[in-house]
Amino acid sequence: MDKIYGRPESIKNRVSTYCPGCLHGVANKIVAEVLDELELREKTICVLPVGCGTLGLFYWNVDMISSAHGRAPAVATGIKRCSPDKFVFCYQGDGDLAAIGLSEIMHAANRGENISVIFVNNSIYGMTGGQMAPTTLEDQHSTTTQKGRNPLTEGYPMKMCEIISGLEAPKYVARFSMDSPKNIIKAKAGIKKAFELQIDKKGFSFVELMSNCPTNWGVTPLESLEWMRENTLKVFPLGVYKEVE
């Protein structure tokens, strides 16, 4: 009998410590599957963020570096420029990338660094306990917007694909969702596209993965998926924002 499905080699055989229902596990897995399929594992250097994404340290079976909050694209720049033959990707959350690390992501993108960035957007700070992120929706409750995000004082959700696709240098900018098997398959194809661009030395690629946070949203895992469809996915439309052949 042929084995047709199993744990990718790029994932360690460990029990997940993400919260129940968290989609980070899915993101970790599909990235690992793409690394395996493109035979990148042994030349990969993964740059981790600060936040729940840091926990990738426990799961990916590749070389990894843990960067300061928001600085992953700068760290990846140093790595890739010194080791252009290695495969370098950043894995960042929305607080990390769109708030404290906004400068680093914009300029790495603008320089057209030949790296790939996986951006996991769940509209909230997960690790620190549910504070408002730049991606938090209007009226969404968080521990620092307890009456809901008020755009008059806290601004509007920042849409990173829309912002980054306005730059000249990036080669691929796309937003996917992990709320359903169908969307996860699409997301994986997008990650593969991004990674192939780097292999072909084409330049900067950016894949946003819409995610959830049952713990800090205060809902069950299933409810969190419904909430994504009814709320976040309406504010953050899925699709390819930029693709340069």
* Positions in the binding site for another protein (CB under 8 A): 41-45, 47, 54, 57, 60-68, 71, 74-83, 86-87, 103-104, 106-107
Cβ-based nearer residue to another protein, 63 or 243: 63
Q: Provide the Cα torsion 47, 177, 124, 23; round to 10°.
A: -70
Buried b (16+ CB within 10 A) or exposed e, 22-38: bbbbbbbbbbbbbbbeb
- The residue among 122, 139, 143 whose CA lies nearest residue 131 is 143
- The residue among 212, 109, 199 whose CA lies nearest residue 162 is 109
What does residue 124 show for φ and ψ, rounded to 5 degrees? -165, 160
Q: How far is the CB of 112 from another protein (least distance, A)?
A: 13
Q: Are 59 and 35 in contact (CB under 8 A)?
A: no
- The residue among 243, 197, 245, 171 whose CA lies nearest residue 87 is 197
Distances from the Cα of 193 to the Cα of 33, 72, 163, 229, 234, angstroms: 13, 21, 20, 25, 24
Cβ-based nearer residue to another protein, 87 or 227: 87
Cβ-based nearer residue to another protein, 42 or 226: 42
Q: Can you tell me the distance from the alpha carbon of 34 to that of 24, in angstroms, rounded to the nearest whole number?
A: 15
Q: How far is the CB of 119 from another protein (least distance, A)?
A: 18
Q: How far is the CB of 30 from another protein (least distance, A)?
A: 19
Cβ-based nearer residue to another protein, 107 or 202: 107
Cβ-based nearer residue to another protein, 57 or 185: 57
Cβ-based nearer residue to another protein, 77 or 224: 77
Q: How far is the CB of 40 from another protein (least distance, A)?
A: 9
CA angle 74, 232, 238 (to 5 degrees): 70
Q: How far is the CB of 79 from another protein (least distance, A)?
A: 4
Q: How far is the CB of 109 from another protein (least distance, A)?
A: 11
